[in-house]
Structure 1
Amino acid sequence: MTFLMHWSFKTGYHEIAAKKFLATGAPFPECTLWKRWHAPGSVERWILLEADKADACYEHAAEWAECLDWEVTPVLSDEQAGPLIAKAYS
C-alpha cells in the first residue's frame, strides 16, 4: 500500500531533527521509499512510500515523534481509484 506521510518540525526542534537526519539518513526498514520532499523556508515535509503494513509508518513516526508532528494518509493512484469510483457510481 502507498502512504503519504506529512510532517512538520515541532517548535524548537529543527536543529535537533536536522542533525539526526544528516547522521542517520532516516532509513525506512521494510518499506520502499519513493521520494521525500522538503519545502525550503518552511517546516513542512512529505514522504511517499510503499509498505505492506501501516506498522512501518507508525514505527518511523514514533522514532521521530520527539521532534516532528505527523499525518499519515494511505493513498491510491488513478489506476487504483478509478475502478472503485466506477463501482460506487454505477
Structure 2
Amino acid sequence: MKFIVSWKIPKGSVADSEARFLKTGAPPPEGVKMIGRWHGLSGGGVLIAETDDGKALYAWLAFWNDLLEFQTTPCVEDAEAGEVMATLKR
C-alpha cells in the first residue's frame, strides 16, 4: 500500500532537523520503499512511501517525531481509483 506523508518543521526544530537529515540522510527502514521525497521552500515537505508493514512506517516516522509534525494517509493511484469509481452506482 502507498502512503502520502507530509511534514512541517516547527521553527524551533529547523536547525536540529537539518543536522539530523544531513547526518543520516533519512533513509527508509527495511520493509518501506520510498517512491520519492520533495522538500518545500516553506520548511515542510512530502514523501510517498510504499509498504505492507505499518509498523516499519511508524518506526521511521517515530524517529523524527521529536522534530517534525506529520500527516500520513493511505492513497491509491489513478488507475486504482478509476476501478473503484467504475463500480459506483449513481
TM-score normalized with structure 1 length: 0.90
Q: Give the deviation of 1:11 after TM superposition.
A: 2.8
Following TM superposition, where does structure 1 have runs of at least 4 consecutive aligned residues deviating by more than 4 angstroms?
none
- 1:56 shift after superposition: 2.2
| Contact residue 32 and residue 53 of structure 2 kept, 8 A | no
- Residue 51 of structure 1 corresponds to 51
Match of 1:80 in 2: 80
Shift of 1:89: 2.7
Partner of 2:36: 35
Amino acid at match of 2:40: A
Aligned residue pairs total: 89
SS in 2 for 1:26: coil
Give percent identity, aligned residues only.
31
Residue 66 (1) aligns with residue 73 (2): no
Query: 1 or 2, which has the higher strand percentage?
Result: 1
Uncovered stretches (5+) of structure 1, i.e. residues with no partner: none
Contact 2:37 / 2:46 at 8 angstroms: preserved in 1?
yes
Residue type of the alignment partner of 1:39:
G
Which ranges in structure 2 are unaligned for 5 or more consecutive residues?
A: none
Aligned partner of residue 87 in structure 2, secondary structure: helix
Would the aligned equivalents of 1:57 and 1:72 in 2 still touch at CA under 8 Å? Answer: no
Secondary structure of 2:66's counterpart equals coil
Distance 1:11 1:89 in 2: 48
Aligned to 1:14: 14
